[in-house]
Chains A and B, each alone.
Chain A
């Protein structure tokens, strides 16, 4: 039963301050989106993400989770852009109005490489970051506890809600619902199950916020934390380096435009 995405290990990556990882993630996203060439993403992937994944020991889970998300996105991207890219002239293959062009494939590569970096880096952060520590670290860095709570609880609750979706499905199957047949029929059968799930989620949110308030969540006191959040001078410096790199990445296209 998946109860949390967090992959509880003791690697260096796991032990980093959550804010360091969050700043790194944001810097990486800014960099690959600010400089729109596919090899920047490739460098980030080879130099940062792959080593971090290997060191963390969570590489296997990272791969299996991200492939599930990436394969359909990339397939659609390459098929649609490769075949229908408007400016495509170098034709590699043609079938009626559809033509596979080099320009289309390069465009898909540019977009696809960034999506790969975005997804891999985000999932790696979630896999290696203790949700409770994330919340404490964020509020220690001045984020409002409410906002910090929303971020860290979302990460925890997604698996909890998917468990609940499974149990709703199971309950319906126990009552004779059949999931056999064409994909179309399966979608038709599953749609009505969404409403108990979604309605349940709304009442849950209301009740949960009641329960949170009862546990002094709105308290004006300065929060403390049961589990200490590790931080080092090196990490403080690193965070500023990431910020500088991100700013540099934003400035690069502008400077190149001027020169």
Chain B
């Protein structure tokens, strides 16, 4: 669904590459997580996958970028955005500023596409229910808390129903409950066939919801693979992303020979329940 081969990119007026030799292969109907420290190039990659680089930001882009069968750099932005949606990092800036209520704000993209009024109303209702923001529909988008604004921003892109959805730190302003809900929504969207690329820091939730995870550091993708394997990699500490306490506890237990060396390190609580079953067996034996 998404295929990047040997993609490198430098912003205009800079003398260095922000991303070099990036390869990425995302099959249809998957949630893929991409992690990286601040300034690693997450937003840059998000803009490449959604066509804003090179169509809006100039700069030097090389390599092949194909999304939903479209060669993005050779296509136009209008075509690109009908295949891939982007939830930008700042919810404040995702909101159009031309609308008086959340209801109209959600419909903004559909108005631009010329969708009929009745269908718009139906889709607004659906997406508001999905994200639990029905009670906000008649409020001003600017009279919301940061987290509520973020939910509106996410909803305003989901309503576009693009086959691919890219989200740049979509839960940065949400409380744990809101974060969990957004991840659950991602899984629901995936089940309906949508392909999602999520740039996130929340390692434990990525472990639960993403099938594959990639790590960006030093301008490159430095690790890729199944979520549990990548997210328990001790090098995550060095890359300034960090591992969960379950991973660290299991690693420590291994070091002290309390666990067999061959153990696949856990990331979430669920993983560690399994792993520490082994711990009990070892103590008995």
Contacts and interface: CB of A to CB of B under 8 A. Distances in A.
A214 B82 contact: no
B113 A219 contact: yes
B116 to A, nearest CB: 6
B88 A215 contact: no
A104 interface: no
Nearest to B115: A224
**Does more than half of chain B's interface fall in helix, strand or loop, or is it mixed?**
helix
A136 B82 CA distance: 22
A204 B52 CA distance: 16
Given A6-B100, A8-B100, A149-B98, A214 B88 contact: yes
A218 interface: yes
Interface string B78-122: 100110011011101111111111011001111111111100110
A208 B114 contact: no
A160 B111 contact: no
Given A4-B142, A156-B142, A226-B124, A216 B100 contact: no
B44 interface: no
Contacts of B82: 216, 219
Contacts of A207: 88-90, 93
Interface in A221-236: 221-228
A210 B112 contact: no
Interface in A137-165: 145, 149, 152-153, 156-157, 159-160, 163
A216 B98 contact: no
A48 interface: no
Interface residues of A, number: 42
Contacts, number: 127
Contact of A213 (B56, B97, B117): B56
A184 B188 CA distance: 58
Given A211-B94, A213-B77, A215-B108, A225 B86 contact: no
B142 A214 contact: no
Contact of A221 (B90, B107, B108, B114): B114
A18 interface: no
Interface string A7-42: 010000000000000000000000000000000000
Contact count band on B? 35 or more
Nearest to B114: A221
Interface stretch (A60-68, A116-124, A127-135, A239-247): A127-135
A52 B160 CA distance: 40
Contact of B85 (A157, A214, A227): A214
Contacts of B98: 131-132, 135, 149, 152-153, 156
Contact of B112 (A153, A160, A223, A227): A223
Contacts of B101: 132
A144 to B, nearest CB: 13
B104 A132 contact: yes
A37 B121 CA distance: 51
A217 B110 CA distance: 9
A130 B100 contact: yes
Contacts of A208: 93-94, 96-97
Given A159-B142, A207-B93, A145 B112 contact: yes
Given A214-B85, A214-B88, A215-B160, A160 B50 contact: no
B97 A156 contact: yes
Contacts of B47: 210
Contacts of A228: 117
Given A208-B97, A215-B160, A221-B113, A160 B142 contact: yes
B157 A214 contact: yes
B156 interface: yes
* Max count, chain A CB within 10 A of own CB: residue among B50, B96, B108: B96
A1 B144 CA distance: 11
Contacts of A136: 111
A221 B97 contact: no
A223 B111 contact: yes
Interface of A: 1, 3-4, 6, 8, 130-132, 135-136, 145, 149, 152-153, 156-157, 159-160, 163, 204, 207-228
Interface of B: 47, 50, 52, 56, 77-78, 81-82, 85-86, 88-90, 92-101, 103-104, 107-117, 120-121, 124, 140, 142-143, 156-157, 160
Instruction: Report the 4 A-B pairs with minimum CB-CB distance, sorted nearest first.
Output: A215-B109, A221-B114, A153-B97, A3-B142
25 contacts: A6-B100, A132-B101, A135-B98, A152-B98, A153-B97, A159-B142, A160-B92, A208-B97, A210-B47, A210-B52, A213-B56, A213-B77, A214-B85, A214-B157, A214-B160, A217-B109, A219-B112, A221-B114, A223-B114, A224-B114, A224-B116, A224-B117, A225-B117, A226-B103, A227-B104
